[in-house]
Structure 1
Amino acid sequence: MSKSVEELIEDLNNQDEFVVEAAIGELEIMGEESVDALMSALSHRKKNVRLNAAKILGIMSNPKAIDALILTLRDSNKLVRREASTALSRMGQLAVDPLIDILDDEDWRVRGAAAWALGNLKDKAAIEPLKALLNDESGYVKAGALNAINTIKEE
């Protein structure tokens, strides 16, 4: 008997890495059927569930998840934020404008994650908005913006 989407999401926090990997695989295979539940899981109380949900959504590259992943850039956990940024950088062209829109967020972690993700997307439209971050008070944001601009210009 196969598990429900909800059971698989709870398995994302299992102590046994094989159970976690199996759940990730099942949720990926389910595709569209699991996207809404995975987006909800981005606000789960357990860090590992949020982290793995972001990872799966990135692998699926479903544009429906972009807004939920952007909200996840505010997560209290650094690893969850990083995974959400990585997931967004896999979304392609559809993630560029939403990421540019949050480059002026009040939270330096959100600005930095957006800058790094834009670098991975390599879209020239991001260069000018990224230049504004070169004077940011956060070293993380400045480094992300500089890296992104250089990566995009190399394309």
Structure 2
Amino acid sequence: MTATFEIEAFRYVKAARRLLKPATQTLEKIAADDDSSDTLRLESLLALGQIGDPESLSVLMRAFDHFYDYVEPITALGHFKNSSPVSKLIERLQDPDALYKDEIVRVLGEIGDPMATKSLMDLLHDEDRMVRYYSARALFKMGGRDVVQALCSLLNDPDEWIVINVLEILSKMQDTEAVPALVGQFETSRDARLKAIIISSLSTFAEGRLLKTFESALESFDPRIQANAVEAISMLKIPALEMKRKLKKFYGHPNNRVRANVCLALAKADPKSVSEELDAMITSSDAPTRRSAAYVLSLIDNPKREEYIHKLLGDTNPGVRKMALKAALSLTNAVF
């Protein structure tokens, strides 16, 4: 079925390019016409890139050299996702006076040719944050053990925004080579927000060896770290009684996210206590806590689920009612 769909899609693309051939030829003439304004020629290049006819690639390659100080030819080449311009793009990156390095790197990521891997790794520590960012994104698409190790070196980047994006990339790559670096970063970082994000990233690995790290996160003073640690432990394959023993002390926690995550984690292991916790959350004077109760009820099965949702649907807070409605709509679907 998938193969058939891809064949049909390919046919549609070919048919579309055939229909657009007159327009493509006109655009190619404009792009090569020295008498036309630069603005018109550059717009023509972008249009050719979006059409994506392979026969137009040579026009764009020439424009890449001719319009050295403009970004449009670079962007247009990225639409093709063709490896032909990769060597020229890499060569441009090696020029210390080159403009739009961030766009060149982004385009290399769109093309995804492994030939660019070495150059992209070298740019992970470029002084321009956007070059570092797009280099990391491009390497993510290419993958590989060397790439993971190179990305881990960015965990010490002075720009927190870069670090957060690298954490997201590493969690998506799901390569266990990154685990020691992530744990080390959690242990040395003093930024509570960053530590919470690291725990969230580590949770995607769901490895038993991370239990001690998650337990230390439970003891944090910051509820964001604690909430993420509760969720992380719930994803581990450990006995229900052990999970209950580690998390039951967080019933009644002053933070609504922590309480919600405990209910989700122990819904099967400790249903009676979870029901009592939901009772307390629903009758709380704190609207975010009541909203969290509704959120929990949208995800778990509970003997009093329908009763709880009915009560929350009449809440005075619109945010609580909205979440309760989502929970009510989920009643028809067996979640567990």
TM-score higher than 0.5: yes
1:99-110 → structure 2 map (5 Å cutoff): 99-101=148-150, 103-104=152-153, 108-109=157-158
Instruction: Return the letter of the residue paired with 1:150.
Output: S
Matched, 1:97 2:150: no
**8 A Cα contact 1:85 1:116, kept in partner:** no
Unpaired stretches in structure 2, ≥5 consecutive residues: 1-31, 33-58, 207-231, 236-336
Q: 1:68 to 1:114 in 2, by over 3 A?
A: farther
Identical-residue share of aligned pairs (%): 17
2:270 alignment counterpart: none
Aligned residues: 146
Q: CA deviation at 1:11?
A: 4.6
- Does 1 or 2 have the higher relative contact order (CA < 8 Å, sep 6+)? 1
Between the aligned partners of 1:63 and 1:33, the Cα distance in structure 2 is: 13
Q: CA deviation at 1:78?
A: 1.0
Q: 1:41 to 1:29 in 2, by over 3 A?
A: same
Task: Provide, for residues 4-61 of structure 1, a one-character-per-residue CA deviation record: whole Å limited to 9, x for no partner.
Answer: 35x42675852xxxx62x542335537222112222333443452x111111111111
Provide the secondary structure at the position in 2 that maps to 1:70. helix
1:5-154 → structure 2 map (5 Å cutoff): 7-8=63-64, 11=67, 13-14=69-70, 20=72, 23-29=74-80, 31-44=82-95, 45-48=97-100, 50-92=101-143, 94=144, 96-101=145-150, 103-104=152-153, 108-109=157-158, 112=163, 114-137=166-189, 139=191, 145-153=198-206
Q: CA deviation at 1:128?
A: 3.0
In our comparison, the structure showing a higher alpha carbon Rg is 2
**8 A Cα contact 1:54 1:87, kept in partner:** yes
TM-score, length basis structure 2: 0.35
Between the aligned partners of 1:9 and 1:151, the Cα distance in structure 2 is: 44
Q: CA deviation at 1:71?
A: 1.0
Q: CA deviation at 1:76?
A: 1.0
Provide the secondary structure at the position in 2 that maps to 1:25. helix
Between the aligned partners of 2:102 and 2:123, the Cα distance in structure 1 is: 10
Q: CA deviation at 1:99?
A: 2.6
Provide the secondary structure at the position in 2 that maps to 1:31. coil
